[in-house]
């Protein structure tokens, strides 16, 4: 709010071109908003649900409300972001999940490379949104609603079109190991608060634990167990950083038998205890 390059509308919409100053992204976080990042130049390294992305010129990143996002590094970045709250999306009747092909594609790969000319057509939305939020005239709410709808559907249309063209040109499908890894990570996202054993996920995928862990290790360099542990720790860090829950309540929500066992697990994975991390 202190920067002229950050505009907030009624806690429902944020538009900014100061991504490098976004402190809340430097630790793992989950927001009740969809985030659309348009990169004009420079580079960003980030993770969404533990999957690493390198973003550079003419790329668009889409982060959904239930995703865990973290920015690792920023270099000479020229970009802008539009963050739209879930409540505002519902009010505008914008449901990204109803565009099932777009939603599932973004779930597999959050970043899309678009032609520079298409990226350029999105910039006026940022300028119009920021100027209208800054002026706040009588008609501003209606103008902002229309701009957010037009911007959202433009992003959906562009990413869908150019992803379909890429698939048609290259005629490639996800190989079996990548498909298995994506299915495994989706299950971990759903069940990590109640299941940390590889057997649980292997059973869900109708595989043996050794086979699952071997394939995941071969494809990613980390075992299935390491991926589960990393996701649990990611969730724990978010709770410790962004909630008022006690450590005992967090250990209960993550399905640990006691606060002590959670503390040992957290320290084993991170090198510090939960209290020290929270401080």
Chain segment 21-34, per-residue pLDDT in tens: 666 788 888 888 99
* Res 172: pLDDT: 44
Task: Tell which wins on pLDDT, 266 or 171.
Answer: 266
Q: Is the pTM of this model over 0.75?
A: no
User: 162-212, pLDDT tens digit by residue?
Assistant: 766 555 444 444 567 878 888 898 899 889 988 999 999 999 999 999 999
Task: Tell me what pLDDT residue 21 has.
Answer: 67
Q: Which two tokens stand for residue 222?
A: 């980390």
Whole-number Å distance between alpha carbons of 111 and 95: 19
Contact 77, 42 (CB under 8 A): yes
Lowest mean pLDDT among 63-77, 137-151, 171-185: 171-185
Query: Tokens representing 262?
Result: 């959670």
Q: What gap in Å lies between CA 221 and CA 266, rounded to an integer? A: 22
- Please compute the mean of the pLDDT values over residues 40-49 and round it to a whole number: 92
Residue 197, pLDDT score: 93
- pLDDT at residue number 4: 58
Q: What is the pLDDT confidence band of residue 1, given thresholds at 50, 70 and 90?
A: very low
Yes or no: say if 151 and 130 are a contact pair by the CB < 8 Å rule: no
**Residue 271 in tokens:** 């090198």
* Average model confidence (pLDDT) across the chain: 86
The pLDDT value given to residue 99: 61
Whether 265 has a pLDDT exceeding 90, the answer reads: yes
CB 8 within 8 A of CB 14: yes
Helix (H) or strand (E) holding 249: helix 247-253
pLDDT of 7 strictly over 50: yes
Q: Check whether 213 has a pLDDT greater than 50.
A: yes
107: its two tokens: 């779930």
- pLDDT tier at 5 (50, 70, 90 boundaries)? confident
Q: Is the pLDDT of residue 114 over 60?
A: yes
**Tokens 């634990």, located at residue:** 209
> In the prediction, which pLDDT does 165 show?
58
């Amino acid at each position: 709010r202190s920067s002229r390059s950050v505009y907030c509308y009624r806690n429902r919409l944020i538009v900014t071109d100061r991504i490098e100053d976004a402190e809340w992204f430097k630790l793992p976080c989950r927001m009740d908003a969809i985030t659309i990042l348009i990169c004009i130049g420079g580079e960003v390294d980030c993770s969404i649900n533990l999957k690493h992305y390198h973003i550079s010129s003419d790329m668009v990143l889409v982060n959904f409300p239930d995703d865990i996002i973290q920015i690792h590094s920023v270099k000479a970045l020229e970009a802008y972001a539009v963050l739209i709250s879930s409540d505002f999306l519902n009010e505008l009747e914008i449901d990204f999940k109803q565009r099932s092909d777009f939603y599932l594609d973004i779930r597999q790969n959050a970043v899309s490379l678009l032609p520079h000319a298409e990226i350029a057509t999105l910039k006026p939305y940022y300028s119009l949104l920021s100027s209208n939020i800054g002026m706040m005239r009588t008609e501003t709410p209606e103008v902002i609603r229309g701009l957010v709808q037009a911007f959202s559907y433009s992003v959906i249309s562009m990413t869908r079109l150019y992803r379909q063209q890429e698939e048609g040109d290259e005629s490639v499908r996800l190989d079996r190991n990548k498909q298995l890894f994506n299915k495994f990570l989706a299950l971990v996202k759903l069940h990590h608060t109640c299941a940390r054993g590889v057997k649980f996920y292997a059973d869900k995928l109708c595989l043996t634990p050794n086979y699952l862990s071997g394939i995941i290790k071969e494809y990613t360099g980390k075992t299935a167990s390491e991926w589960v542990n990393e996701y649990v720790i990611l969730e724990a860090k978010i709770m410790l950083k962004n909630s008022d829950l006690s450590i005992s309540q967090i250990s209960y929500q993550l399905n640990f038998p006691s606060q002590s066992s959670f503390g040992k697990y957290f320290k084993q994975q991170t090198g510090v205890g939960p209290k020290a991390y929270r401080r």
